[in-house]
Amino acid sequence: MSSKTVSKALSILDVFTPDRPAWGLRDIARELDMSHTIVHRILKTFEEDGYIFQNPETNKYELGIKFIQLSNIVEERLRISDLINPIMKSIAVETLESVVLTVIDDEEGLFVKIIEGEQQVRFAESVGKRGPLYIGASHKVILAHLPDEIKNKIINQGILDHAQQIESKELFLEKLEFIRKQGWFYTAGETLNEVAAISVPVFDPRNNVIGSISVAGPSYRFTSEQAEKVLPILKDYLEQINGIFSKVFFPSRRDYLLKKIK
Q: Determine what percent of the chain is predicted with pLDDT higher than 70.
A: 84
Contact 204, 246 (CB under 8 A): yes
The CA-atom distances, in angstroms, between 177 and each of 5, 52, 81, 114, 149 are: 48, 33, 33, 27, 14
The domain spans of the chain are: 3-63, 71-261
Whole-number pLDDT of residue 230:
94
Whole-number pLDDT of residue 71:
59
- What is d(CA 25, CA 28) in angstroms, rounded to the nearest whole number? 5
Mean pLDDT value of segment 50-73: 79
Q: In a 3-state reduction of DSSP, which class is residue 202?
A: strand
Q: How confident is the model at residue 105 (pLDDT cuts 50, 70, 90)?
A: confident
Verdict on whether the full-model pTM lies above 0.95: no
Return the higher-pLDDT residue of 213 and 8: 213
CATH class of the structural domain 3-63: mainly alpha
User: Is pLDDT above 60 for 154?
Assistant: yes
Mean pLDDT value of segment 1-16: 82
CATH class of the structural domain 71-261: alpha beta
Radius of gyration of the chain (CA): 19
Whole-number pLDDT of residue 255:
60
